[in-house]
Structure formats: structure tokens, C-alpha cells
Amino acid sequence: MAITLKSQKQIDMLREAGQIVSNTFEVLRGHIKPGVTTAELDAIAEEYIRSRGAEPVYKGYGGMRGRGGKLARRPFPATICASVNDVICHGIPGPEQRLQEGDIISVDIGARYNGWVGDSCVTFGVGTIDPDTQNLLDITEQCLELGIQQAQVGNTLGDIGAAIQQHAEAAGYSVVREYTGHGVGRNLHEEPTVLHYGEPRTGRRLIAGMVFTIEPMLNRGRAETRQDSDGWTVRTADGSLSAQFEHQLAITDEGPIILTR
């Protein structure tokens, strides 16, 4: 399918949306601690996003990509995805889910501002986390940065995926394969699909004007996933911990511009 390239003016608009998302993480950071519920975090994020004149993208969204392109059974009901411990992605915030010391939570945020979308994810430790868990977070974030380094004009999507896969597997972690990065623009999900595994020099060649996310999800155990009956929440099949970091970036002749830094 065709990729819609973005002009410099459009990239600037996408950066404005991305900065609202980035700032929302900073607002949430001080609230992510033992005792808080994921519903409380969701309310804080929505209030901030709307205070900036933006709107949550996920709330009411009905078709995030999943296994085999399967769509969720109902629209997503919240502003953030709150994925705790063994939840890989698309966790639904709720008043009964209270964070505990040593948990990890991946917070995925999307906002639309002046018609353009920003999308990013950060995994936070709750209170003090053990060294092995911190290593999972560190390696996952490193995988994101290594993927971004490969996002150069003339490289391929396979170069991004290969860099991520090699670093993750060298550290003993597995890469989730069913859930991917994606193009972003006026819509949350556009072309291209960005895999977090693969072979160098394969796949679409990167050209200036592409805008997409890189969002590796690493499991401490096996890569296999399972989906809860709510149609959204995706967990590790073996119950192991999972972490995710995501940035949205624009490809330019001068190198990648991170829109959600």
C-alpha cells in the first residue's frame, strides 16, 4: 500500500502533537507510584491532553492492529493504554487495578492536535524494581534507540528490525512479533508497518517524508502472546514480564527527527 509522505509543515504539526504526548508523560511521572490506580492515571492524562486543546486518540478507537489484522470487539474505552507486568500492550485502565511496589507499567498515549496525531509509549518502574526488571527496561529502551539510529534515508525497514532483534536476543529477551510500529499522520495507523525483527537490507527503503513509530516490545520469557476476553488486553503467554518503549519519528535527509522526545 502507498505511504503518504509528509511535508516539512506537516512534520512540524506532527511534532506539536508529539510534544503534547511527551509532556503528558512528564505530568504522569510523579503520579506513578504504589497505591495509585490505573483509572486515576487515565483521568490525569485525559485532563492534561484536553487542557492543551488536544483530544485523546485511543478513546473510542475500534481497530488497533492485532494478530492477523484482527480488530478489537469494542471501541477502546480509555485515554491511555496501561499495561502492567505481564501485559504487553492495550491494557485497559480500571479503578480496581492498583499499582504495587515493584510493578512495571507501560503507558501508551496518543493525542490528536489540529488534526495531527502524536503517539508514544514509556515503561515505568513503580517504586523500587529489582535489577533484573530494570535490565529489561534498559535493554528495551536501548533497542528503540538502536532502531532509531537505523532510520536513515537509504536504509530499509529491515535494518531497523534487525538492529532491535539482535540487541534484544543477545541480552536473552524475546521480541513480540504480532504487534508492530506503524505510520502516523492524520490517522493513528497508516503505512508502513514497522517490524521489530528482520533481516538487514530487506523491506521498504526509507525516504524523506516518512513518519512512523518504532515501538519494540520485549518479553523476559517467550515471545508468544495471548489476548484477554475483553478483546484488547494482550499478555505474555507464559506470564513473564514485558516492556515497551515507543517514539514517533520523521525521516529527513539530515537524519531522523524524533517527534515525541
Extents of the domains making up the chain: 8-258
Q: Which pLDDT score is estimated for 63?
A: 55
> Residue 67's pLDDT is what?
43
> Residues with Cβ < 8 Å from 240, sequence gap 6 or more?
86, 219, 220, 221, 222
Q: What's the pTM value of the predicted model, to 2 decimals? A: 0.95
How many of the other CB atoms lie within 10 Å of CB of 134? 13
Torsion of CA 54, 120, 196, 133, to 10 degrees: -150
Walking along the chain (261 residues) 10 residues at a time, the average pLDDT comes out as 95 98 98 98 98 98 56 83 98 98 98 98 98 98 98 98 98 98 98 98 98 98 97 97 98 98 94
The one-letter amino acid at 200: P
Phi-psi region of 4 (alpha: psi -120 to 50; beta: other; left: phi over 0): beta
Contact 212, 3 (CB under 8 A): no
- C-alpha span between 80 and 97 (Å, rounded): 14
8-258 folds as: Creatine Amidinohydrolase (3.90.230)
Of 92, 135, 244, 122, give the one whose Cα is nearest residue 179.
Answer: 244
Chain position carrying cell 534487525 = 162
Side-chain-side CA neighbours of 144 within 13 Å: the count stands at 28
Write down how long the chain is.
261
3-state SS assignment for residue 18: helix
Please name the residues in contact with 226: beta carbons below 8 A apart, sequence gap of 6 or more.
234, 235, 236, 237
